[in-house]
């Protein structure tokens, strides 16, 4: 099976309380891009600060969630001077403490993770391909920097979804672009 | 066979003429680190400029070479606004034109490449493992972000060498650090 690749830049998910603290009001964020599925990239941005450095121009994916989570690159953890764990979205065990700075204020919270690469696929399409929620698969990307990603998590997603989520460091290591296709390999 | 991983940051190799143009004299560079094999990382740095952006604090590997080559990350090419090809060191076909800015002046030259990952190994050790100069192998990295790099070039190197060269984007995609070991797989 082939699936489409979506590459993630560093980004933040915020609670309504933290949107208010950083941007002044729970509805302060405006969309610069519509990602589909009622998910938007903010026009506004925040800055991340850690003990060793800072990274500006970080966008928020909204609407609000019931947890604040910042997904950074492994290189960012080095710049910020924090240890960020590799985690599935929503799993904030041992998340790195970061200070988020917005135009209206700042908050310091354990929120920094590095995203665990995964395949988002609807249950029916998964079943057709012999895949199950929680399974670990491989993804083969073929090009100048061909490689096989191991330890890729399968996660059920709404109907019609069939997307591989990688971050830009993973995408660059494989020399792939947003919208490229890669081959799913059952282990 | 296991080989040690060496991760490269972005860096420049310069001709004596360009060292003079950027830093004022052919012997202007001083070593901040000794990489062994008569190769040093400069204490001094230069800035890269492209049509879309700039990147500062780029170190020079010296002594001088007979060509000027800047090895950047794929993400850097995006920041700078250039197309940089994936190349073996010394192969500057279609290299991206960059402006290099030093304390004594600047030069604009086609010099930007993204390094083709490779195994540097001495001929005897290679022969023992059935490997030849120019061969393409795979490298298996096993950890949280386990993956198998394909399209890895074998290059003969001085006696006693057995090192995998990756850049930091590749290292981060595989969750490996400088000095980690990975498994060589003959295709």
The string of pLDDT tens digits covering residues A72-130 is 999 999 999 999 999 999 999 999 999 999 999 999 999 999 999 999 999 999 999 99
Average pLDDT over residues B55-64: 98
Q: How many Å apart are CA A169 and CA A73, to the nearest integer?
A: 7
- Looking up tokens 């949107």 gives A19
> What is the reported pLDDT for B142?
83
Q: Which residues of B touch A180 (CB under 8 A)?
A: none
Beta strands in A9-161 (DSSP E): 11-13, 31-36, 39-49, 54-62, 69-71, 86-87, 96-102, 105-115, 118-121, 136-141, 147-156
pLDDT category at A36 given cuts 50, 70, 90 is: confident
ipTM: 0.94
What pLDDT, on the 0 to 100 scale, is given for residue B123?
97
Q: Which of B86, B169, B175 sits opposite A86 (nearest CB)?
A: B175
By Cβ distance, the residue of B147, B168, B169 closest to A148 is B147
Please check the confidence at residue A187 and state whether its pLDDT lies above 90.
no
Whether residue B63 has a cis bond before it, omega within 30° of 0 = yes
CA separation for the pair A68, A12 (Å, rounded): 7
Q: A164 vs A7, A66, B35, B58, CA distance in Å?
A: 8, 24, 38, 33
Give the residue-averaged pLDDT of A61-77: 98
Contact between chains at A75 and B172 (C-beta distance less than 8 A): yes
The answer to whether B174 contacts A173, with C-beta atoms less than 8 Å apart, is yes
Query: SS3 of B19, please?
Result: helix
Token readout for B79 is 């920041």
What is residue A50's DSSP assignment?
-
Interacting residues of B15 by C-beta distance below 8 A, sequence separation 6+: B64, B65, B66, B67, B68
Mean pLDDT for the stretch of residues A145-152? 97
Report CA torsion sign: A36, A37, A41, A47.
Answer: negative
Q: Do B145 and A173 touch (CB under 8 A)?
A: no
A26 contacts: CB under 8 Å, gap ≥ 6: A16, A19, A20, A64
CB B118 within 8 A of CB B124: no
pLDDT tens-place string over residues B137-167: 999 998 899 999 999 999 999 999 999 999 9
Smallest CA–CA separation between B3 and chain A, in Å? 18
pLDDT at A12 over 90: yes
3-state secondary structure of A54: strand
Whole-number pLDDT of residue A142: 83
Please give the interface size between A and B, counted as residue pairs whose CB atoms are below 8 Å apart. 58
Q: CB under 8 Å to B132, separation ≥6 — which residues?
A: B126, B154
Percent with pLDDT over 90 in chain A: 96
Nearest to A144 among B147, B149, B151 (CB): B151
pLDDT exceeds cutoff 90 at B83: yes
Is the Cβ pair A149, B147 closer than 8 Å?
A: yes
How is residue B59 written in tokens? Answer: 């170190």
């Amino acid at each position: 099976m082939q699936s489409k690749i979506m590459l993630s830049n560093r980004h933040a998910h915020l609670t309504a309380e933290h949107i208010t603290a950083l941007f002044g009001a729970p509805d302060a964020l405006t969309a610069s891009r519509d990602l589909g599925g009622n998910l938007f990239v903010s026009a506004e941005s925040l800055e991340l600060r850690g003990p060793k450095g800072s990274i500006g121009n970080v966008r928020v994916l909204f609407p609000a969630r019931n947890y604040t989570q910042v997904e950074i690159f492994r290189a960012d953890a080095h710049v910020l001077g924090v240890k960020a764990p590799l985690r599935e979205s929503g799993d904030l065990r041992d998340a790195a403490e970061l200070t988020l700075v917005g135009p209206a204020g700042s908050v310091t919270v354990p929120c920094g993770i590095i995203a665990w690469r995964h395949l988002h696929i609807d249950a029916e399409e998964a079943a057709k391909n012999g895949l199950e929620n929680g399974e670990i698969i491989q993804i083969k990307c073929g090009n100048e920097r061909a490689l096989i990603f191991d330890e890729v998590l399968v996660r059920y997603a709404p109907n019609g979804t069939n997307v591989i989520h990688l971050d830009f460091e993973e995408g660059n290591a494989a020399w792939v672009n947003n919208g490229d296709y890669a081959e799913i390999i059952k282990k």
